[in-house]
Amino acid sequence: MATRYGFKKFRSLVATDLDTLRAEFAQMRVDLDATRKQLDGMIAVNEKVVADLRVIDDRLVHMGREFANQIHELSMGIDGLEKYADSISAETVAELHGAQARLAAEQVRYEIAFRQDLAEIADQLRRAR
């Protein structure tokens, strides 16, 4: 009979332990679901940032092309002026050529710096994941 009493006590302990484990697993599921929701939110935010960066990059490319086209047109206009230039105008045309070259170089520097900034932001986003 003592064995039977011990079995009931053991069975009661096992039932209690199982209930405790069930409660812990249920809490773990709740925590896991909450963590998944947070991760989904973070991924959505990161994807939006990446999409925004792509839009900015596309706009930069478009603006760079437009600016390059304008510099080219300016160069053609300066070349046209050069044909009709006298000695005083020749100096002005030479200054215009120099200014045009500086503008083109500055535009390239800004575009490179901006692309480096975009690359750093994208790299930070990758590391954050």
Q: What distance in Å separates the CA atoms of residue 122 and residue 49, rounded to the nearest whole number?
A: 9
Lowest mean pLDDT among 11-20, 29-38, 80-89, 94-103: 80-89
What does 34-77 look like in DSSP terms, one character per residue? Answer: HHHHHHHHHHHHHHHHHHHHHHHHHHHHHHHHHHHHHHHHHHHH
pLDDT in tens, 43-78: 888 888 888 888 888 888 888 888 888 888 887 877
Q: What is the pTM of this model?
A: 0.50
Is residue 15 predicted with pLDDT exceeding 70? Answer: yes
